[in-house]
Amino acid sequence: MSLAIPPPPGATPARRERRPEFPDWRFAPNIGGHPDTYELENQAVDRAGHVLTAMRTVAPWAGRTLVDLGCGTGYWLRRYAGEAARVVGVEPDPALRPAAQLAADSLPAAEVLAGSAEHLPLADRSVDVVHARFAYFFPPGADAGLAEVLRVLRPGGRLVVVDNDYRWGEFAQLLAAAAPRPPLQTAAVVDAWWRERGAARHEVRSELRFASRADLASVLDIEFPAEVARDWLRRHPAATGLSYGYVLFAVTA
Ligand SMILES: C[S@@+](CC[C@H](N)C(=O)[O-])C[C@H]1O[C@@H](n2cnc3c(N)ncnc32)[C@H](O)[C@@H]1O
């Protein structure tokens, strides 16, 4: 059974293509420009395992309906599909959706829909858990998406947003070296935005563990300016990974 709301009469695919599908879609240069390299980054997150464990603790999905909002190429769909009753990947980037669809095709009770945080093609109160991993929720200015997520969540359902911990870990140091504004300032804005909306905040101290130094180098290359990545690698000649702090923000409907 699909949870999707059928398109309104007259919204033929040809008509939809003539205007921007989702005005809130922000092209993600890392995954959008380099999907294969971003896959290596997801594998490095997965190898460490801490983020998925924390997400499961904050909002268990066994037997539930889970939406992966901004699912990209669908890397994480398979991690949810084993336990969830139903998994829906939502992705606004038309170039990424086919890969996500391919991932969903091999999974039980999984589907991928065109949509965005502000335009979820899902019925009111039809979902138990929404995950947004580095997708859309970059406060401030994310209220419309939050309202839309709260519309589709059942009472008691939960949104879990994965963001950077700008205060801890080697990845945060790289962010600081590359950021146009001080990361502590960003962290304060982000924390205050979520606090004002009643979110619970959970820190996860983890790492990116790569299969090889070449994989590490290629991922640093898509995440940071070349000189920042090169300098870090020079100062860490034997590294095949780096420490990474995350913050999960959880809002209950
Ligand atoms: C850094 S990628 C993360 C992809 C995926 N969550 C993962 O962890 O592999 C950010 C994703 O958010 C998507 N995105 C951009 N704007 C969005 C929006 N308004 N609503 C939902 N997703 C959005 C991008 O297309 C991209 O797939």
Mind listing the pLDDT tens digit for each residue in 14-67? 333 445 689 999 999 999 999 999 999 999 999 999 999 999 999 999 999 999
Chain-centre distance of CA 66, in angstroms?
13
Measured from the CB, is residue 44 less than 6 Å from ligand 1? no
Query: Would you call 241 helix, strand, or coil by DSSP?
Result: strand
What are the backbone dihedrals phi and psi of residue 108, each rounded to the nearest 5 degrees, phi first?
-75, 135
Q: Which helix (H) or strand (E) holds 237?
A: none
pLDDT computed for residue 82 by the predictor: 87
| Calpha distance 202→244 (Å, rounded) | 14
The tokens describing 139, both together, are 């406060």
| Calpha distance 149→122 (Å, rounded) | 10
* Ligand 1 pocket mutation, candidates 134, 143, 148, criterion most atoms within 8 A of CB: 134
The tokens describing 240, both together, are 């095949």
Q: Find the 71 Cα to ligand 1 centroid distance in Å.
A: 6
Measured from the CB, is residue 88 less than 6 Å from ligand 1? no
Mind listing the pLDDT tens digit for each residue in 201-240? 999 999 999 999 999 999 999 999 999 999 999 999 999 9
Measured from the CB, is residue 75 less than 6 Å from ligand 1? yes
Strand order from edge to edge, sheet including 127-133: 110-114, 86-91, 65-69, 127-133, 153-164, 241-252, 200-209
| Calpha distance 153→74 (Å, rounded) | 21
Chain-centre distance of CA 6, in angstroms?
25
pTM above 0.85, yes or no: yes
96 near 32, Cβ under 8 Å?
yes
pLDDT at residue 1 tops 80: no
Which residue's alpha carbon is nearest to atom 23 within ligand 1?
Answer: 70
Q: Which domains does the chain have, with CATH numbers?
A: 24-252 (3.40.50.150)
* Residue-by-residue DSSP string for 165-214: -TTSSHHHHHHHHH-SS-HHHHHHHHHHHHHHTT-EEEEEEEEEE-SSHH
Mind listing the pLDDT tens digit for each residue in 185-197? 999 999 999 999 9
Q: Which atom of ligand 1 is nearest to the CA of 96?
A: 27
Q: Find the 137 Cα to ligand 1 centroid distance in Å.
A: 9
